[in-house]
Structure 1
Amino acid sequence: MSIDIPTGLRTAHVSLTGTGTAEEHLVPGESRRPEAGKGQVVVRVEAAGVSFAEVQMLQHLHPFPPRFPFVPGYDLVGRVAEVGPGVTGHRVGDRVAAMPRHGAWQEYVAVPATQLADVPEALDAAVAVSLVTNGVTAYQMLHRATAPQAGQTVLVHGASGGVGTLLTQLAVHRGLRVIGTASPAKHATVRALGAEPLDYRTPDLAAAVRELAPDGVTCVFDHIGGRGLDAGWAMLARGGTLVSYDSSVAGYRPGQWFRPHVPALQRTGRRWIARKLGLTGGRRQSMYYVKPGENFRTDLAALYRLLDEGVLEPKIAARHPLADARLAVRALLDGSTVGKHVLIP
């Protein structure tokens, strides 16, 4: 079953053709519209997210990257345009979200039906997609990877970013005191979210956090990795948790696809052993990544309810036409905006 779309219709997309700059290797083009195979649906994309995953892929610094050329795009919101054999529970016209990890930057994309989540009809597509990867990441780190209690203090790195703004709002709603790192130009935004801002470039950030929270913080949410994980570890209170959910690729040569993530793996392993030996004062470090499945669907639905209740106000940095993906990536790298950049096919 499908929407009335002519067979062989061409569909616009943006391809990532190699390692280098966005201007060189993010190339708009066309291809034949995909067809739904067994267990798949074809989704007509309404909005696709832009994230640092695409930046890492562009520089060939993302773990387990697809082979060039490929269509990037970590997450999307759209409508089911075709249902393949064996698919139940989804019909043409259903509004859905998906997190294919790549392939979202095109008008039509084939997605396994098991990866779909429902999206409210009235919700703006850009707002809806801002909660798919970023929102579920924030929600699961706060509700599944950790369990801070009301009145405790947490540190959110990048509190003005796509994940950080949502994580801060969720933590404040939970009754937590939030310290959020950001550049000074974004401190007003961080305060407006209900957090206490700190400049992420502070020479001794751990000491600055300890001035605000002398006994340490219950959780640190870190998207930078590397040596910053040592500073985060020093900020923790007894029994606290450091969650590493990404790694900065700054300073790495293009093509060193796994190296930015090695420091987090090494530190997580060493601290796991130390904790088992009773040497960490109950502190622990974990690594988190978002993945599709039942928890993803459940948690995204919870986020949409919180949005409807007015608890969340997703920050949309800009909406870009699909053909302007290069400009969207450049804006993300510039770092002057707040929130999520979104492509509209």
Structure 2
Amino acid sequence: MDAEGLVEVVLPGKVAPEGLQIRQGTVPVAGPGQVVIRMEATGVSFAEQQMRRGRYYDQPPFPFVPGYDLVGTVLSAGEGVGPGLVGTRVAAMVKVGGWASHVRVDAADTVPVPDGVGAAEAETLVVNGVTAWQMLHRTARVRAGQTILVHGVNGGVGSVLAEFAHLAGAKVIGTASARHHDALRDRGGVPVDYRTEDVAARVRELAPGGVDAVFDHIGGRSVTDSWRLLAPGGTLVSYGTAATRDDEGSKQWPVIKLLGRVWLWNALPNRRRAFFYNVWAGRAFAKDGFRARLHADLTEVFGALQRGDITVRIAAQLPLTSAGEALRLAESGTVAGKVVLNP
């Protein structure tokens, strides 16, 4: 057992970032098929921003420990786990529970981190990298020569998505505020300022026949505009409802409305397709298949980072006990890249 003991961050209810609580306890013990990971890096994602408002559509009841993903070293393993896993650096996607010094997970849910890839760098790509890779290659199946629109191209998912699309030979149009435009241009993309330009008009100017795919995390009215910008045979991939982050009322209703739109669009006699992407899709019904895809895709993502094909942006690294400050910083809209928490 680790002599340091367990330290974890608790989200007690709908609170300001400063309302997060620090709790100490005993390091968990690995059960059969499980490992205990000593966390080295965990991140602040948009999911936690929604959760503290009670707006994440399937979050657990308060209080709970947030933290969507983590990277760390396997401290101990339970019965049925090969001894070779202990002492290795792994990544895990957990949805909640990652903001802790020690996290217990099923060994089958861990993915090895390659040598030479740092914990913080790997952490920025766990949920963001898998989401970007799967939406681009498994859902939209973007090919060389196609043109895509990425909303929020400076965000955690959008920035990785743009890099993978560029690697695949696609042209990227990305929406972002002006201060992020040079970064997109450096990666071969074309920026559109959503604050000062008519996005739909500008995209139609850049792609008169429509775009081959749109990746929309905004939801609301944006997703309807995204659908209208598709070329024949194009694909809309909706993967969030960021526009409703600060709304009151039901947290499920925006997702239900979005799913209804997707169903209706796909039922229409047209050549376009719409999807609502959920990184957890299939886990409840086909856990082995879900794990195999996650392992394969995250391995691809880490490999791209190891080869230098993609880059990562770390906005800041703060200690776990400063999670409130980290969450406030991530929500400020003043940083580029991911805010990472360290032990």
Give your verdict on TM over 0.5.
Answer: yes
Tell me what 2:2 maps to. Answer: 5
Question: What one-letter code is carried by the residue in structure 1 that aligns with 2:233?
Answer: G
Q: Is the 8 A contact 1:165 1:193 kept in 2?
A: no
1:314 alignment counterpart: 312
Matches within 5 A, 1:164-203: 164-202=158-196
1:91 positional shift: 2.3
Question: 1:18-51 CA deviation, whole Å, 9 max, x = no partner?
Answer: 0131112x11221211111122111000100110
Residue of structure 2 aligned with 1:290, choices 279, 292, 296: 279
| Contact 2:2–2:27 under 8 Å retained in 1 | no
Look up the match of 1:221: 215
* Superposition pairs of residues 237-316 of structure 1, within 5 angstroms: 237-248=231-242, 249-253=244-248, 256-274=250-268, 278=269, 280=270, 282-291=271-280, 293-316=291-314
1:288 maps to amino acid:
Y
| Counterpart residue number, 1:86 | 80
Q: Percent of counterpart pairs with the same letter?
A: 46
Amino acid at match of 2:292: E
How far apart are the structure 1 equivalents of 2:251 and 2:79? Answer: 37
Find runs of 4+ consecutive structure 1 residues off by over 6 angstroms: none
Question: Amino acid of the residue matched to residue 141 of structure 2?
Answer: A
- CA separation of 1:89/1:195 partners in 2, compared to 1, >3 Å: closer, same or farther? farther
- Aligned-partner SS, 2:95: coil
Deviations 1:196-248 (A, max 9, x none): 11112356422210001000000000111111011101110000000011111
Q: Distance in 1 between matches of 2:258 and 2:187?
A: 28
Looking at structure 2, the residues matched to 64 and 90 of structure 1 have their Cα atoms a distance apart, in angstroms, of 35
Q: Does 1:71 align with 2:65?
A: yes
Give structure 1 stretches of 5+ with no counterpart. Answer: none
CA deviation vs aligned residue, 1:284-305 (integer Å, no higher than 9, x gap): 1101121351111111111121
Q: Deviations over 1:125-179 (max 9, x none)?
A: 1100111100011111111001222111000111111111111011111111100
Give the structure-1-normalised TM-score: 0.93
SS in 1 for 2:40: strand
In the alignment, the residues of structure 1 paired with residue 2 and residue 115 of structure 2 have an alpha-carbon distance, to the nearest angstrom, of 22
Q: Which letter does structure 1 place at the counterpart of 2:2?
A: I
Correspondence 1:114-129 to 2 at 5 A: 114-129=108-123
Amino acid at match of 2:161: L
User: Match of 2:76, as an amino acid?
Assistant: E
RMSD between superposed Cα atoms in Å: 1.5
